[in-house]
Amino acid sequence: MADTQREISVSEFFAKNRHLLGFDNPRKALLTTIKEAVDNSLDACEEAGILPEILVEIDQLEEDRFRVAIEDNGPGIVKAQIPNIFGKLLYGSKFHSRRQSRGQQGIGISAAGLYGQMTCGKGPRIWSKTERGKMHQFEMQMDLTKNKALITKDEEHKDWHRKQGTRFEIDIEATYQRGLRSVDDYIKQTAVSNPHALIRFRAPGMTEEHIYERAVTEVPDLAEEIKPHPYGVELGELMKMLRNTNSRWLSSFLQEEFCRVGPKVAKDIIKAANLGERSYPSRIAREEANNLYRAIQKSKISAPPTTCLSPIGEERITEGLMKECDADFYAVSTRPPSVYRGNPFQIEVGIAWGKPGGDQLEVDEKGRIEKKKKKRTTDTEDLLGNADDTVRILRFANRVPLLFQQAGCGFTKAVMQTSWKNYGLSQSKSSLPIGSAVIFIHMASVWVPFTSEAKEAIAQYPEILKEVKLALQEVGRKLGVHIRRGKKVSSEFQKRSYIEKYLPHVGIGLQEILGLSMEDREEVVEALRDTMETTRKI
């Protein structure tokens, strides 16, 4: 048995388990390829302080094969890094840094290349130009067994249509379809959550390029990198840090290697752990490290700084929702930052709600009710949905739309666990609420805990669920007020229409009983109407 045991390369592993990376089927493979490349492009532009301009092109080669290209105006990539970034799984700068970014695993784009090579036999092609360098065109071949790539072609060109940037191109087995969870859907949602990006999109069947113009012309503030927070470090990690530190003394170790630890906090921790401030970190044994670990957990340490986060902001979310849904009501809530497993994160929730179709009742300044005919485009009705259907959830993590695995996502669970009946929506036990509404949920974090490498859904950490639920309750309460008010208007209108209908009959009755003249009758009816309208004001 022993002789068949051997190492499995990470490329081999993911090639066989490609559904883990989002390459389950040809349709999803197309989306994943584009998503990974666009994520990288947006990250690269923002890190360099450049307003992103992204081009996405899909060309059909054969019935089941497509050529996909993503091009950006980012800073470009130096030659030495090309085979690693595009041809090695688990390679990158974002994994080890504590800062919000779209990519984090160092898998995505290489996996797209791998999928292309597996299904169409050709590795990825890269064009790249740094500001001062020449444009290089590369062709690569990936070696699965060794998890590395070889550059098979490298041509230098003097001219390129861009001052700087990168173009990634790959042939893949795919299917192109529109509709929900399509590439089109993804690009539209990306434009909503990245209003500073200009996105140009061309796909089979389009007569011309679709351009998503940018709504703002400022690059979002670059999130800062932070040191680990003491609460988020486990015993094993702490022992490793103690072994590897350059700090000479325990006290300086705590202050230098962690955020939010000053001399006072360090002193308290060390005292609680029954250790000396001048202990040598590298000589601390497991039992002492365990005491230190327990002391940290019990100490009062401020929450990590949140400069590492870059939320979208209530204003932008409202704008985005208004652009995409013509609803009757909008509410947005950005929660203060929180922490799970030592990782800072922040939840933003928005809701758009509308009574679809039909008439809309509004109360004017004088308390009069007006009937307004509702104008809705088909497109909008799609997004808000039917009043009899479950609400639609738009999920985002670090500004990236999440289109799949909704059922298994922590966000969905949080929506289900919120009591929407309190806020005027109907809801069966542990289900999504019913109504023509869209719920927008965004998590900004230095590390998003996805349920799979395909980055499709958020793992159900209790701290995250709690924050999402609090944000949902905030927008829910506002929605509840609005819906109740609407119901009051609606029932008021109903009652008033009864008055309109029956008052004349009351008049006739009174006329007969009291023997009134026609004038008297009209007068009485008018007096009654006045009385009722003034006493029944809203």
Buried b (16+ CB within 10 A) or exposed e, 214-252: beeeebbeebeebebbbbbbeeeebbebbeebebebbbb
Q: Which is nearer to a copy of itself, 119 or 279 (CB)?
A: 119
Instruction: Specify the stretch interacting with a copy of itself by CB under 8 A; choose among 9-17, 50-58, 317-325, 465-473.
Output: 9-17
Does the protein bind a copy of itself through residue 16 (CB under 8 A)? yes
Does the protein bind a copy of itself through residue 106 (CB under 8 A)? yes
Question: Could you give the CA distance from residue 366 to residue 305 in angstroms, rounded to a whole number?
Answer: 50
Return the sign of the alpha-carbon dihedral for residues 130, 134, 135, 137: negative
Residue 417's Cα: distance from chain center in Å? 20
Instruction: Specify the stretch interacting with a copy of itself by CB under 8 A; choose among 71-79, 300-308, 364-372, 520-528.
Output: 71-79
Least Å distance between CB 407 and a copy of itself?
Answer: 5
Q: Which is nearer to a copy of itself, 242 or 317 (CB)?
A: 242
Instruction: Please enumerate in sequence order all residues whose Cβ is within 8 A of that of 459, keeping only pairs 6 or more positions apart, or say none.
Output: 410, 449, 450, 451
Does the protein bind a copy of itself through residue 5 (CB under 8 A)? yes
Q: Which is nearer to a copy of itself, 153 or 487 (CB)?
A: 153
Least Å distance between CB 465 and a copy of itself?
Answer: 12
* 115-144 binders of a copy of itself (CB under 8 A): 117-122, 144
Does the protein bind a copy of itself through residue 289 (CB under 8 A)? yes
* 483-502 binders of a copy of itself (CB under 8 A): none
Does the protein bind a copy of itself through residue 447 (CB under 8 A)? yes
Report whether 40 contacts 108 (CB < 8 A).
yes
Instruction: Specify the stretch interacting with a copy of itself by CB under 8 A; choose among 184-192, 252-260, 348-356, 444-452.
Output: 444-452
Does the protein bind a copy of itself through residue 60 (CB under 8 A)? no
Question: Could you give the CA distance from residue 18 to residue 20 in angstroms, rounded to a whole number?
Answer: 5
Q: Which is nearer to a copy of itself, 96 or 375 (CB)?
A: 96
Does the protein bind a copy of itself through residue 237 (CB under 8 A)? yes
Beta-bridge partner residues of 340: 343
Does the protein bind a copy of itself through residue 179 (CB under 8 A)? no
Does the protein bind a copy of itself through residue 214 (CB under 8 A)? no
Report whether 359 contacts 414 (CB < 8 A).
no
Does the protein bind a copy of itself through residue 453 (CB under 8 A)? yes
Q: Which of 354, 449, 486, 507 binds a copy of itself (CB under 8 A)?
A: 449
Distances (CA, A) of 39 to 26, 34, 36, 101, 411: 20, 8, 5, 9, 21
Paired tokens of 298: 């019990």
Paired tokens of 357: 């179709």
Output 27-31 pairs: Cβ under 8 A, ≥24 positions apart: 27/174, 27/175, 27/176, 27/177, 27/182, 28/404, 29/115, 29/119, 29/172, 29/173, 29/174, 30/58, 30/66, 30/68, 30/172, 30/174, 30/175, 30/176, 30/183, 31/181, 31/182, 31/183, 31/186, 31/403
Beta-bridge partner residues of 210: 201
Q: Which is nearer to a copy of itself, 82 or 327 (CB)?
A: 82
Q: Determine the size of the site formed for a copy of itself (CB under 8 A).
A: 67
Does the protein bind a copy of itself through residue 80 (CB under 8 A)? yes
Q: Which is nearer to a copy of itself, 120 or 479 (CB)?
A: 120
Rg of the chain (C-alpha set): 30
Report whether 34 contacts 186 (CB < 8 A).
yes
Instruction: Specify the stretch interacting with a copy of itself by CB under 8 A; choose among 174-182, 372-380, 405-413, 438-446.
Output: 405-413
Output 154-157 pairs: Cβ under 8 A, ≥24 positions apart: 154/79
Q: Which of 109, 239, 308, 327 binds a copy of itself (CB under 8 A)?
A: 239
3-class SS letters over 110-179: HHHHHHHHHHHCCCCEEEEECCCCCEEEEEEEEECCCCEEEEEEEEEECCCCCCCEEEEEEEEECCCCCC
Q: Which is nearer to a copy of itself, 99 or 442 (CB)?
A: 99
Amino acid at 27: R
Q: Which of 460, 482, 528, 529 binds a copy of itself (CB under 8 A)?
A: 460
Q: Which of 247, 307, 452, 511 binds a copy of itself (CB under 8 A)?
A: 452
Q: Which of 24, 139, 381, 492 binds a copy of itself (CB under 8 A)?
A: 24
Q: Which is nearer to a copy of itself, 255 or 460 (CB)?
A: 460
- Identify which of 69, 39, 76, 55 has the alpha carbon closest to the alpha carbon of residue 164: 76
Instruction: Specify the stretch interacting with a copy of itself by CB under 8 A; choose among 132-140, 289-297, 321-329, 521-529.
Output: 289-297
Q: Which is nearer to a copy of itself, 119 or 436 (CB)?
A: 119
Does the protein bind a copy of itself through residue 405 (CB under 8 A)? yes
Report whether 195 contacts 319 (CB < 8 A).
yes
Residues forming the site for a copy of itself (CB under 8 A):
1-2, 4-10, 12-13, 16-17, 19-20, 24-25, 47-48, 75, 77-78, 80-81, 84-85, 88, 90-93, 95-97, 105-106, 117-122, 144, 173, 234-237, 239-240, 286, 289-290, 293, 405, 407-408, 447, 449-453, 459-462
